[in-house]
Amino acid sequence: MSFIHDIKMWAYHRSLKQQLRHRQEPTGKGEANLDNANSIGILFDATELSTRDTVLAYAEKLRKRNKRIKLLGYFDDPTDSENYPFEYYNRKQVDWASRPKGEQVQAFIKHDFDLLMNVNTVSLLHTEYIAALSNAKLRVGPCTEHTLCYDLMIDLSPQSGLKHFIEQAETLLGKTNIKHEAAPV
């Protein structure tokens, strides 16, 4: 099992490095925060209904703040459905080396977001792949050993829950790239 896992990881990392070599860095990289971001991409695991409800409520909250939101959910089952208010991909669209495929995934990767948020409490290889290749100016996600995926990582225990993860992300993003006035001398 370990040998097969090592081959999968080798293929995953080799493919990701090849894709990153051909990708152009987005202009204004790292200059975004939650307040000045106009377009936000939210990547999430949509398998559980409670997670979907939390993410959809959060997306609506951001829309009320005049943010353009694009959602991409992942379902850990191979069924297809047209009844979701967001784009998604599923297990059938993730290959043997955890690389996601499909039109929705490619469109999400190519979209020029000011901010990309992976709102999973635990990092998944296929969501890391999407985040690493994204054209987003600032990429936020759960803590992982693959540092090329995110510009800002949030380290929480998986038991703390998605709402706490989102609160921590908002707190940290509220403190990034803030212009401060010079102190009077």
| Residue 181 three-state SS | coil
The pairing of beta strand 87-90 with beta strand 152-154 = unpaired
Phi, psi of 179 (to 5 degrees): -85, 120
Whole-Å CA distances, 176 to 16, 126, 143 = 28, 27, 17
Total-model pTM: 0.85
Tens digits of residue pLDDT in 46-99: 989 999 999 999 999 999 999 999 999 999 887 777 788 899 999 899 988 888
pLDDT at 71: 96
Between 166 and 26, whose confidence is greater? Answer: 166
Give the pLDDT band (50/70/90) at residue 156.
confident
Tens digits of residue pLDDT in 92-144: 999 888 889 999 999 999 999 999 999 988 888 899 999 999 989 899 999 88
| Residue 90 three-state SS | strand
Domains identified in the chain and CATH numbers: 2-174 (3.40.50)
- Beta-carbon contacts of 14 under 8 Å, excluding residues fewer than 6 positions away, are none
Helices (H) and strands (E) in the chain, counts: 5, 6
